[in-house]
Structure 1
Amino acid sequence: MRKHYLIEVAQNDQLIVFCPSNLIQDKQIKRIAFGSKSMDVEFFPHPDKNDRIVISRKIQETIQFPYFKVPLHAFLEDEVLYLGPLVGIFTAGFTSYPEQPIGERTLFFAKLLSVNRPVGALAFVFGEKHINWESGTIEGYFFEENVWHTVEVPFPNVIYDRLPNRKSEENPKLIKVRNRLQKEYLIPWYNPGFFNKLDIYERLQQDSSVTAYLPETFPFTSFSSIETMLSKYGHIFIKPKNGSLGHGVHQVIYDKHTDDYYCRYQDEAGVNRLRKYSSLERLFQSVFAAQSLDRMLVQQGIHLLRNDQRSVDFRVHTNKDENGEWQVTAIAGKIAGQGSVTTHARSGGDIKTIGEIFPKEEAEIYREKLSNAALLLSKALDKNIEGIIGEIGFDLGIDRNGDVWLFEANSKPGRSIFSHPELKEFDLLTRKLSIAFAVFITEQSLLHPEELFK
């Protein structure tokens, strides 16, 4: 188990570092580093304190170490003692309000940074405009003792991507920042990019360990292919390849007894609609007239388990931990609102624990099935997608035969399930692991960079 060390600042200008004797025993160490800053110093064993590292005021100023009382890890490599990790959380949408620096997402980031102490990392939030390329520093936002502080710090050991949406992700200025920090400064960058639904499906199709979880999915091509799917499954879903939060999802149902077609969707005013049509062509002319169908995909309908006559699917969060291993960190049931095509809360959906939906034995069986599926899918995505992934939010369904199906994988999962009082501890766990994974990446980048950047 890795140890955390308190960092004390002595009020002198000596270039001396005092360390626990067991940390530096029989080792040649010549430099100290924090983020991208380092300097030559002398190291001596601490006479009586085994849980702290003491640096001078002069060292603190030179390596730009912000003096927050957060215990940190110490990594030794190539005669350098690295304090950290210093974790930069990259985002957009900053405001000029000191108490709400990241607008309506300020509370989320405050909660995310609150895990610094138990994890043993120093995380801060920053955007493109906070980087000083000439000095190699960032004006970072830290949240300490319930107050936001801006402090100039070195470039971090690792960057956690929390861009809020696809628009910011596709901003050329932000793409340039990411490329420069990754390629010129070799800073590992984790959780880059939002997933494209069709791309995810096609990549997972190549992995035999998870194909059983994949409903038939393909890009919209023709009415005849949809007719074939409807005769086979009875209902299908048409959804945007790059959609989120259930926006733009339509369920198309075929009644073979009356030869009628139905479409369930949410209109622009947020009202759930169910419309009947005599032909598929009329349905499309009415519902999809203003939409570009080449941006849509078609997915097999699944007859899901129900709760009080309402469809149920599940959000399963997975995170990599401080050892780089996947863990299931949260599972919640999402119950569709009355007449809704999705289970999202904005469409009248409810969040429940598995224990609230099913009897105890059944709940355990479904929990195990969902966990096994989520872990297999996490490993398959990890293997088949570029970049470093640290967390995924899966939308999974269970059909009436008890089989698990993947509807969606989210690289930046929403956190609405954590509004449920019984899921608060899992909210904390997902936040802790999303920063703890940075400890693992930092260690890998120092000890095995060839593995990280291959």
Structure 2
Amino acid sequence: MRRQYQVEILHDISQKVRIPKDFNHKKKLSKLAFGSHSIDILIEYQPSGRNVISLSKDVADQLKFPNMNVPLHLFTDNETLFLGPLVGIFTSGFTFFPMRPIGERSMFFAKLLSVKKSVGALPFVFGEQHINWEDGTIQGLFYQKDGWEIYEVPFPNVIYDRLPNRKSERLTEQKKVKERLQIEYLIPWYNPGFFNKLDVYERLLQNDQISMYLPETHSFTSFSGIERMLAEYGHVYIKPVNGSLGLGIHQILYNKAEGFYYCRFRDHLGENKLQKYSSLESLMSQVFAGKKLNRMLIQQGIHLIRTEGRPLDFRIHTNKDDHGNWVVTAIAAKIAGAGSVTTHVNSGGVIKTISEVFTSMEEQILAESKLEEAALSLSKALEENIEGIIGEIGFDLGLDRKGNVWLFEANSKPGRSIFKHPQLKDFDFLTRKLSLSFAVFLAERAITSPEEVFK
């Protein structure tokens, strides 16, 4: 088990580093590293009973170590002692307002950084404009009791990607930063990109152990393909390949008895609509006028379980923990709003706990067990089939009336609307904590077993 040690800065000595005696290392330690900075210095052991790390002020200044009263980890590689880890959280959308330096997302990042003491890491937020390539330093935004503070620190041990959307991810500047820090500086970068729905589906389909969770999904090619799926499933969903937040999703239903087609969707004013058409061609030409159908996918409709007459699905969060293992960190039910095509909160959806949805304990335990098993299997499969290091995933899973589990979506940067429910606060903390605990694991691996990280 990893130990964490409090760090003290001493002003009355010079060029000194002392570590607790219980941190046994067989080789003589002659170098101290913090982030990408290191200095040659003989490292001494503390007198018995002093379980702290002591740095003289000049050593702390040389390493650009900000003293924040956070217990940290010690890792070693040969004769080098690493203090940290220093975790960079990369994003965009910065403002000039000191109280809200990352705009509306400032509170999210403040809450994320607030877990630092429980994790034993020094996390900070930065963007490409904060990097000084010549000096190998970053003007990092740290969150303290009194608010946001800026400290100049070395390049971090690991980087957690929190770019807010696909648009920012596609910018040339962001791509160059990511490439340079990974390739030139060998800094592990986790949660590297947004998933493409069709790409995820096609990759997972090759895995026989999880293919049963996948509803039939195709890129749009013709009306006849939709007709065939409507005949087989009764209804289908048309979704943007790179959509998010449930935007642009349409449900198409065919009523055999009437011979009419129906389309349920959310219009540009944010209202839920249900419209009736005599043919699929007229539906498509009116509802999708001006839209690029080659950027849409068609997905099998599932007859979901219902509560109070409304369909529901489930958001399941999985995280890599501080041992690098996948764990389920949150489960919540999402109930569709009246007339809504999705269960998203912005479409009138309601968040409930599993216990609020299932009346009997037996039903609850069975549902949780099925959803957790599916989420963990899907997490491992995605990790094996998607490039880069994945540290967290948000799944939208459904249960049909026969008890089968279905994957609707996997999100590499899951939204956090479910945590507004008062009974999900503990899950909110756990997901934040593990997203940084994994950084500790990754930093240690990059130091002690780099061949496993940079394979």
Long gaps (5+) in structure 2: none
The runs of at least 4 aligned residues of structure 1 exceeding 4 Å deviation read none
The amino acid that maps onto 1:317 is H
Question: Aligned partners of 2:49, 2:5: CA distance in 1, in Å?
Answer: 10
Shift of 1:67: 0.8
User: Which residue of the partner structure matches residue 14 of structure 1?
Assistant: 14
SS of the counterpart of 1:21? Answer: coil
User: Which residue of the partner structure matches residue 410 of structure 1?
Assistant: 411
Matches within 5 A, 1:38-437: 38-359=38-359, 360-437=361-438
Shift of 1:50: 4.0
Question: Aligned partners of 1:379, 1:227: CA distance in 2, in Å?
Answer: 35
Q: 1:330-356, CA deviations, whole angstroms, 9 ceiling, x for partnerless residues?
A: 000000000000001111100000100
Shift of 1:15: 1.8
Question: Aligned partners of 1:408, 1:190: CA distance in 2, in Å?
Answer: 20
Long gaps (5+) in structure 1: none
Question: Aligned partners of 2:439, 2:4: CA distance in 1, in Å?
Answer: 14
Shift of 1:12: 3.8
The amino acid that maps onto 1:102 is I
SS of the counterpart of 2:318? Answer: strand
Q: 1:47-85, CA deviations, whole angstroms, 9 ceiling, x for partnerless residues?
A: 134421101011001010001100000001121110011
Shift of 1:258: 1.3
Decide whether aligned partners of structure 1 residues 25 and 344 sit closer, same or farther in structure 2, where only a CA change above 3 A counts: closer
Q: Which moved more, 1:214-223 or 1:12-21?
A: 12-21
Q: 1:258-291, CA deviations, whole angstroms, 9 ceiling, x for partnerless residues?
A: 1110000000000000000000000001100121
Shift of 1:25: 5.0
- Answer yes or no: is the 8 Å Cα contact 1:64–1:154 preserved in 2: yes
Question: Aligned partners of 1:418, 1:56: CA distance in 2, in Å?
Answer: 43
Quote the sequence identity (%). Answer: 61
User: Which residue of the partner structure matches residue 451 of structure 2?
Assistant: 450
Question: Aligned partners of 1:361, 1:385: CA distance in 2, in Å?
Answer: 36
Shift of 1:209: 1.3
SS of the counterpart of 2:178? Answer: helix
- Answer yes or no: is the 8 Å Cα contact 1:6–1:52 preserved in 2: yes
Question: Aligned partners of 2:198, 2:341: CA distance in 1, in Å?
Answer: 20
The amino acid that maps onto 2:406 is W
Q: Which moved more, 1:289-298 or 1:43-52?
A: 43-52
Question: Aligned partners of 2:33, 2:43: CA distance in 1, in Å?
Answer: 13
Question: Aligned partners of 2:89, 2:26: CA distance in 1, in Å?
Answer: 36
Shift of 1:27: 2.8
- Answer yes or no: is the 8 Å Cα contact 1:317–1:392 preserved in 2: yes
The amino acid that maps onto 2:232 is K
The amino acid that maps onto 1:401 is K
SS of the counterpart of 1:254? Answer: strand
Shift of 1:26: 3.7
SS of the counterpart of 2:68? Answer: coil
SS of the counterpart of 1:340? Answer: coil
The amino acid that maps onto 1:176 is K
Question: Aligned partners of 2:141, 2:408: CA distance in 1, in Å?
Answer: 36
Tell me the number of residue pairs that the alignment of Structure 1 and Structure 2 aligns: 454
- Answer yes or no: is the 8 Å Cα contact 1:12–1:58 preserved in 2: no
TM-score (norm 2): 0.99
Question: Aligned partners of 1:288, 1:21: CA distance in 2, in Å?
Answer: 69
The amino acid that maps onto 1:342 is T
- Answer yes or no: is the 8 Å Cα contact 2:89–2:126 preserved in 1: yes
- Answer yes or no: is the 8 Å Cα contact 1:75–1:81 preserved in 2: yes
Question: Aligned partners of 2:449, 2:259: CA distance in 1, in Å?
Answer: 62
Question: Aligned partners of 2:139, 2:25: CA distance in 1, in Å?
Answer: 36
RMSD: 0.8
The amino acid that maps onto 1:311 is P
- Answer yes or no: is the 8 Å Cα contact 2:265–2:340 preserved in 1: yes
Question: Aligned partners of 2:411, 2:304: CA distance in 1, in Å?
Answer: 21
Decide whether aligned partners of structure 1 residues 25 and 301 sit closer, same or farther in structure 2, where only a CA change above 3 A counts: closer
The amino acid that maps onto 2:138 is I
- Answer yes or no: is the 8 Å Cα contact 2:21–2:51 preserved in 1: no
Shift of 1:146: 3.8
The amino acid that maps onto 2:45 is P
The amino acid that maps onto 2:137 is T
- Answer yes or no: is the 8 Å Cα contact 1:13–1:59 preserved in 2: no
Shift of 1:13: 5.2
SS of the counterpart of 2:180? Answer: helix
The amino acid that maps onto 1:222 is S
Shift of 1:121: 0.4
The amino acid that maps onto 1:428 is F
TM-score (norm 1): 0.99
